[in-house]
Amino acid sequence: MKINRKRFTADKVERLSKCEIFVFGSNLEGMHAGGAARVAYEKFGAEWGVGDGPTGKCYAIPTMHGGIEEIRPYAKKFIEYAKAHPMNRFLLTRVGCGIAGFKDSDMAQLFEDALDVPNITYPRQWFPFMLIGITLGLKTPREKTVAPLVISDMILKNLCEQHLYEIGAGISKFLPNIKVRYVAENKKFAYANFGNFFFFGDDFYVWELDDKYLDDHNQDVVEAVFNDECKGRGYARRVIFAGVLTEFKDCNGENIYTGDVIKIEKDQFRTEHLAVGALCSVEGIGSYCFILDNHSWRLGDCNRQQYKMTRVGTVFYQLDANDFIGVNQRTMQFNGWRDTEEEKQLKILMAKFTPNFDQELWKYQGLEILGAEYDWR
């Protein structure tokens, strides 16, 4: 199993972020006189007389009343509590290994299920012992989330909600394999894997590490979304979402994204230009397709009929930084069935010079005359 050092509790916890909970070993009487219990009482609001469960910015696990089997129910109870509070980060300390006198190897195995709970950190000394059940084949580790077959804007937003803690904490182990495209700036697309972006309402944000994005960072949005400072994640930058990677490739072997404009050649006499969207249920069952007036045309059908598909541009022209139109809406605007031939040709022309914030048609026509090339691929 790959070691993720973000999952280790610091040897000495000095302060807590907004979402963090200090997990310490206690006694049932709640007399926090020494060790981590004293730290919890003096620094993090643990209440005297509370020896089990949440208290202040802490969680108490009693370890002084018996042996390992007597402690086990309390360990299980804590893990279930952490699962029920996915937006908190629980800093599990070496409970039971101080005044209570238990070995790390004994206590660690009580908490082996914490490996599958991303919002629990644990002592680095425990990690080898927590793996014993997996090593011996007695425990099956949690699998990576499988991405839906089709991903629309709404599906992507729902997935971000489901994995919000992991996105804020930078833990990618259980996240689905999804790649998206976004508008980095005029004339430039960029790409991000799931876990490195999130939504705030309809606005789309990516995590950036380069200090040049300091002025673009919105800490208020970060704390509103994650209820935490998310230190170490970088800068949250608002950008325009520009599609998701599909399973399809064009005739040149290039990956097709939603929002791409495709030249479809049925034969030497019949050619169409249409933009790719996604139609699916809330479970992700559906298809990547060309969304038309009252029906759709699936990319899979084009492949089966051996039509030649070539990427020729994207729908991200005449952009407005303050108008976040969904990808499907942009593709439907491009695929407008009432367009005249002249209007259709202008859209095909603009698609070549993307992403682009210019609103005036003559600027796109000028780019064509000048032989300009945009690296939209």
* Residues 232 and 250 occupy one common structural domain: no
Q: What is the pTM of this model?
A: 0.88
* Residues 353 and 286 occupy one common structural domain: yes
User: In the numeric block, which tokens belong to residue 88?
Assistant: 């908190």
In a domain, 377, yes or no: no
In a domain, 144, yes or no: no
In a domain, 80, yes or no: yes
Domain interval for residue 45:
5-135
In a domain, 376, yes or no: no
Q: Identify whether the C-beta of residue 374 lies closer than 8 Å to the C-beta of residue 363.
A: no
* Residues 173 and 195 occupy one common structural domain: yes
Cis peptide, bond prior to residue 355, ω within 30 of zero: yes
Quickly list DSSP for 40-68. Answer: HHHHS-PPTT--SEEETTEEEEE-SSS-H
Per-residue model confidence (pLDDT) at position 267 = 79
User: Within 10 Å of residue 8's Cβ, how many Cβ atoms?
Assistant: 17
* Residues 159 and 234 occupy one common structural domain: yes
* Residues 107 and 23 occupy one common structural domain: yes
* Residues 236 and 257 occupy one common structural domain: no
The CATH number covering residue 28 comes to 3.40.220.10
In a domain, 142, yes or no: no
Gap between the Cα atoms of 163 and 118, Å rounded: 10
The CB-side HSE value for 368 (13 A sphere, CA atoms) comes to 13
Measured between alpha carbons, how far is residue 358 from residues 36, 167, 317, 319, 349 in Å?
A: 60, 33, 7, 7, 13
* Residues 11 and 70 occupy one common structural domain: yes
Per-residue model confidence (pLDDT) at position 5 = 65
**Number of domains observed in the structure of the chain:** 3
In a domain, 315, yes or no: yes
* Residues 216 and 252 occupy one common structural domain: no
* Residues 9 and 54 occupy one common structural domain: yes
* Residues 157 and 273 occupy one common structural domain: no
In a domain, 36, yes or no: yes
Q: Within its chain, how far is the Cα of 210 from the centroid?
A: 19
Which DSSP helix (H) or strand (E) runs through 39?
A: helix 35-43
User: In the numeric block, which tokens belong to residue 372?
Assistant: 């300009």
Which DSSP helix (H) or strand (E) runs through 248?
A: strand 235-249
* Residues 15 and 131 occupy one common structural domain: yes
| Domain limit, last residue, from 241, 271, 287 | 241
User: In the numeric block, which tokens belong to residue 227?
Assistant: 């209820």
| Domain limit, last residue, from 135, 162, 183 | 135
* Residues 11 and 130 occupy one common structural domain: yes
Q: For every one of its 377 residues, what pLDDT tens digit does the chain have, with 9 covering 90 and above?
A: 455 667 899 999 999 999 999 999 999 999 999 999 999 999 999 999 999 999 999 999 999 999 999 999 999 999 999 999 999 999 999 999 999 999 999 999 999 999 999 999 999 999 999 998 877 777 777 788 899 999 999 999 999 999 999 999 999 989 999 999 999 999 999 999 999 999 999 999 999 999 999 999 999 999 999 999 999 999 999 999 999 999 999 999 999 999 999 999 987 778 899 999 999 998 889 999 999 988 899 999 999 999 999 999 999 999 998 877 899 999 999 998 889 999 999 999 999 999 999 999 999 999 999 999 888 88
| Domain limit, last residue, from 135, 162, 177 | 135
Quickly list DSSP for 262-299. Answer: EEEEEETTEEEEEEEEEEE-TTS-EEEEEE-SS-EEEH
| Residue 133 buriedness (CB in 10 A; 0-12 / 13-18 / 19+) | middle
In a domain, 145, yes or no: no
